[in-house]
Structure 1
Amino acid sequence: MRILILGAGQVGTSLAEALASEANDITVVDQDAQALALLAERLDIRTVAGNASHPSVLREAGIDDADLLVAVTQSDQTNLVACKIARSLFRVPTRIARLRSADYLDPAILANDNFAVDHAICPEQEVTDYIAKMIEFPEALQVVEFAGGRVVLVGLRAGADGLLAGKPIRTLREHLPAGVDARIAAIFRNHRQIEPDGNTVVAPGDEVFLLAASGQIRRVLLELRKAPAPARRVLIAGGGNIGARVAERLERDYSVKLIERNRGRAAAIAMQLSRTLVLSGDATDENLLTQENIDETDVFLALTNDDEDNIMAASLAKRLGCRRVLALINRRAYADMVQGGPIDIALSPAQVSIGTLLTHVRRGDVARVHRLRRGAAEALELIAHGDAQTSQAVGRRIDQLPKIGGARIAAIVRRAELGVLMPQVGVLREAYPERVIIPHHDTVIESGDRVIVFCTHKRQVKEVERLFQVAAGFL
């Protein structure tokens, strides 16, 4: 696939890294020639320096032959204009734009008659949603959803106090109540992947990815560790775009304080938020954190625009007694270094938002992509199509599928064949409920199934995509 990426910031760079190793023809456009040179040294890609909204620059970058344009510069206006030009002048089939302002997310504005954006992404909002989910599951290292929230995949450290501690995985079903089922999709021990089977014993400290229906996941997590007390008090460092969004999202359900260094910005945020206590100060100030009872705070979120400040503030909050700390860190080397040490969660904004971009790039009918373990692993939600003649997957039992080492079908979401009448806005309407299936070796994949596959390494993704692609000519 010929892909044109506009913007060599964190999101554009992460996307280029993810796609360059998958036999795609990648060109990156940015005005920063030095950033492009550094990117070209590491990746087998082409780069063009220039303004991404100029037709001449886009033509030099090869837009005439592009299959996909991804506009992820820092400017909403540049991204919108580039998408409009890509459709009007060059007929690029698919156009994706990063938009930070909610004002531009109106479908009428994005329609083909206007800016011609097929898919709009807002990384700041995706990071906000992700952080909210992490606070909802305070024991988790990572939480992602599939099938519109019907299925939840949680990554966490196994504890010695879990119900499954010291027992083989096959006893999991013996512990769970009737009607509750789950799947341990992967285990990583000392950073090495272990292929789980019924005889595998989960050891304390293992990084375990566990999947279940959303209504059952909390009960299932007790198998791996005792449930911590729910979070109530949250302290946010940084009142930028993400910090303010997170505060606004959380203040309805939690007691929230926010520390912002810039006094003018703090005053503006205080007017914007209704329940959050906004403080003007430095989140790396030990006296300030102590005054704000950091030792009684459940979650500390370091969300400034500076990696070093976030690391320092989160490390200090942890040392002063905060139960759990999360730091927003853009540099991957920093994130790998601090997570699991002084900082509980090192969150990369680019890694959170890149899943949405990959959803539109993957081959086959891919409904959702999540990057896991900071990009090393990946989980996909694919929609099965075809029949036994046109598909390698449909109409076959799990144990009849081609073996892909490291890839594991973790769950299936299946739509009911018969509709039922359900009240909607005071009127009974026909609906087709979906149920979550934790598959076993004899489960047969049906057309229309939403199949969730865990890949312990991203190199397995292409094989999984091919498995669910239908033969040429299928309608």
Structure 2
Amino acid sequence: MKIIIAGDGKVGLTLTQKLSAAGHDLTLIDSNQRVLDSSVERYDVMGVQGNCASMRVLESADVKKADLLIAATSSDEVNLLCGMTAHGLNPRIHTIARIRNPEYGKQIFTMRDVYSLSLMVNPEKQAAREIERLIRYPGFLQRETFAKSRVEIVELRIQKGSKLCDVALMNLENVVKCKVLVCAVSRGGVVEIPSGHFILREGDHLFITATAEMLTQLLRNLGIITHKAKRVIICGGGRIGYYLSTWLAKEGVSVLLIEQDEARCEELSGKLPPEVCIIHGDASSQFLLESEGIHDCDAVVTMTGMDEMNMIISLYAQTCGVPQVITKVGHMENNSMQDSLGLGSVICPKELCCNTIVRYVRAMQNTTGAALTLHNIAEGQAEALEFVVDADTKHIGEPLRNIRLKRNILIACISHGSKTEIPNGDSMYEAGNSVIIVAKGGMTLLQLNDIFE
């Protein structure tokens, strides 16, 4: 597809990397010629320098022949005007805009026909929602839902002394006493789609497929005690902190928000529910954290404007015995380093936003048979996709043991209507079933038939 990306910042650069690797015809627009030259030199893309909301610049980018425009500049207003102008020049184009200001959310939804937006993405709101889900369902580092929320893929780290240490996957059910499937393992930053002979080690990150009921049983059988968070400390009062505090307060969670900027504290006090306690202070201060009861809280979320500061606070929270620690980072380039530090759950708003856009692009590519949902797991080194089996799908009614799949691909789950199955060699799928596939990164799976040899 021909795609225009307006804005070559963090999100634009990440999208350029992901979409150019998938073989799309990309044109970048940015007002900074130096930044633009760097991306054009690094990737096989075209570059246009200028204001992306300008009709002249959009025409120079050949907008009339484009299939999709992604507006991801630092200005919400420019992104909106860019999308509207592009749609005026090419009524068939799909438009996606990054909108970060909470004040615009309801307005854009109400006037979506006027703005001509196919999709609006808000990285901070997405990150806050992901963090809220993790706090509401503790025990795992990450959670992704499929099959109308009946199936999940979760991330679990094997701690020292865990029952899972030195267990071969073929013997896993004997240890955990419930039906789950380890669909991917990350060890030392390298991801594998494991076979039954794979032996688990301390420090491994497991990506496990199971129903919600089985996951609860898994935690219980592994001795991982979880309870709903009652008191949460949030370090940083940016947009993510605003969204998260609002949602947690509505659920009856006691929220303490620490923000260093006095003016921002005053602004938040007028916007947040009165139940949220706002503290003006330095979240990296050991004295402040201890005086505010870090040892007694259920979760700490670090989301200051500096990754390094977030990591330091999270590490200190771990030493204080906080049951759940969630760390926001702006960059995921140092995955293995972050993993070795033990920062708890790591959330990257930029990655969440880009993954949403890539899912939309995939759906555009092939509407018939396209993946219903797509999630990046294991720091983007693997993907989990959900497909519906249709009449054109190969091997309907055949036992899985007789089907040859491409290398590094696994069928992780089959949903037969309301019944969900973690498959074995005797399992079969029929037309109308939904199937969850896990594949190592770098593979392009546009439809279910792409998984077969």
Alignment pair present for 1:258 and 2:257: yes
Alignment pair present for 1:465 and 2:446: yes
1:325 corresponds to: 325
Alignment pair present for 1:23 and 2:23: yes
Tell me how far 1:351 sits from its aligned partner.
1.4
Alignment pair present for 1:84 and 2:67: no
Partner Cα separation in structure 1 for residue 313 and residue 176 of structure 2: 40
Tell me how far 1:442 sits from its aligned partner.
3.3
Greater shift in the superposed pair: 13-22 or 391-400: 391-400
Partner Cα separation in structure 2 for residue 307 and residue 34 of structure 1: 26
Partner Cα separation in structure 1 for residue 224 and residue 298 of structure 2: 17
Check 1:45–1:283 CA distance in 2 against 1; reply closer, same or farther (3 A cut).
Answer: same
2:231 corresponds to: 233
- Preserved contact between residue 250 and residue 256 of structure 1 (Cα < 8 Å): yes
Of 381, 389, 396, the residue aligned with 1:384 is 389
Of 426, 429, 433, the residue aligned with 1:449 is 433
Higher helix share: 2
Matches within 5 A, 1:167-316: 167-174=167-174, 181-222=179-220, 226-228=224-226, 230-251=228-249, 252-271=251-270, 272-316=272-316
Amino acid aligned to 2:374: V
Tell me how far 1:119 sits from its aligned partner.
2.0
- Partner of 2:361, secondary structure, is coil
Alignment pair present for 1:403 and 2:379: no
Partner Cα separation in structure 1 for residue 48 and residue 300 of structure 2: 41
Amino acid aligned to 1:71: A
**Count of residue pairs brought into register by the alignment:** 442
- Partner of 2:26, secondary structure, is strand
Q: Deviations over 1:294-339 (max 9, x none)?
A: 2223322111223233234334444555444332211234554333
Greater shift in the superposed pair: 316-325 or 209-218: 316-325
- Partner of 1:340, secondary structure, is helix
Q: Deviations over 1:384-418 (max 9, x none)?
A: 33x2xx33365554345442211111112333xxx
Amino acid aligned to 2:258: I
Partner Cα separation in structure 1 for residue 63 and residue 180 of structure 2: 46
Tell me how far 1:11 sits from its aligned partner.
2.1
Give unpaired runs (5+ residues) of structure 2.
Answer: none
Quote the sequence identity (%).
Answer: 27
Amino acid aligned to 1:32: N
Q: CA RMSD in A?
A: 2.7
Partner Cα separation in structure 2 for residue 455 and residue 288 of structure 1: 45
Partner Cα separation in structure 1 for residue 428 and residue 221 of structure 2: 28
Greater shift in the superposed pair: 251-260 or 317-326: 317-326
Identify which of structures 1 and 2 has the higher relative contact order when contacts are C-alpha pairs closer than 8 Å and 6+ apart: 2
Check 1:406–1:221 CA distance in 2 against 1; reply closer, same or farther (3 A cut).
Answer: farther
Greater shift in the superposed pair: 319-328 or 42-51: 319-328
Amino acid aligned to 1:244: Y
Alignment pair present for 1:53 and 2:34: no
Partner Cα separation in structure 2 for residue 83 and residue 400 of structure 1: 49
Alignment pair present for 1:109 and 2:125: no
Matches within 5 A, 1:357-372: 357-362=357-362, 363-364=365-366, 365-372=370-377
Partner Cα separation in structure 1 for residue 389 and residue 84 of structure 2: 33
Tell me how far 1:373 sits from its aligned partner.
2.3
- Partner of 2:47, secondary structure, is strand
TM-score of the superposition, structure 1-length normalised? Answer: 0.84
Amino acid aligned to 1:408: L
Check 1:193–1:124 CA distance in 2 against 1; reply closer, same or farther (3 A cut).
Answer: closer
Check 1:221–1:59 CA distance in 2 against 1; reply closer, same or farther (3 A cut).
Answer: farther
Partner Cα separation in structure 2 for residue 170 and residue 183 of structure 1: 10
Matches within 5 A, 1:70-149: 70-100=70-100, 101=102, 103-105=104-106, 107-111=109-113, 114-149=114-149
Tell me how far 1:115 sits from its aligned partner.
1.6
- Preserved contact between residue 193 and residue 410 of structure 2 (Cα < 8 Å): no
Tell me how far 1:266 sits from its aligned partner.
0.9
Partner Cα separation in structure 2 for residue 11 and residue 247 of structure 1: 25
Partner Cα separation in structure 1 for residue 33 and residue 316 of structure 2: 37
2:419 corresponds to: 435
Partner Cα separation in structure 2 for residue 354 and residue 225 of structure 1: 36
Check 1:238–1:169 CA distance in 2 against 1; reply closer, same or farther (3 A cut).
Answer: same
- Partner of 1:366, secondary structure, is coil
Check 1:399–1:8 CA distance in 2 against 1; reply closer, same or farther (3 A cut).
Answer: farther
Greater shift in the superposed pair: 196-205 or 348-357: 196-205
Partner Cα separation in structure 2 for residue 308 and residue 245 of structure 1: 23
Partner Cα separation in structure 2 for residue 225 and residue 161 of structure 1: 11
Amino acid aligned to 1:371: N
Partner Cα separation in structure 2 for residue 136 and residue 107 of structure 1: 27
Partner Cα separation in structure 1 for residue 298 and residue 126 of structure 2: 22
Partner Cα separation in structure 1 for residue 120 and residue 98 of structure 2: 6
Tell me how far 1:231 sits from its aligned partner.
3.6
Tell me how far 1:342 sits from its aligned partner.
5.7
Check 1:76–1:413 CA distance in 2 against 1; reply closer, same or farther (3 A cut).
Answer: farther
Check 1:118–1:377 CA distance in 2 against 1; reply closer, same or farther (3 A cut).
Answer: same
Tell me how far 1:102 sits from its aligned partner.
5.8
Check 1:249–1:466 CA distance in 2 against 1; reply closer, same or farther (3 A cut).
Answer: same
Partner Cα separation in structure 2 for residue 166 and residue 320 of structure 1: 29
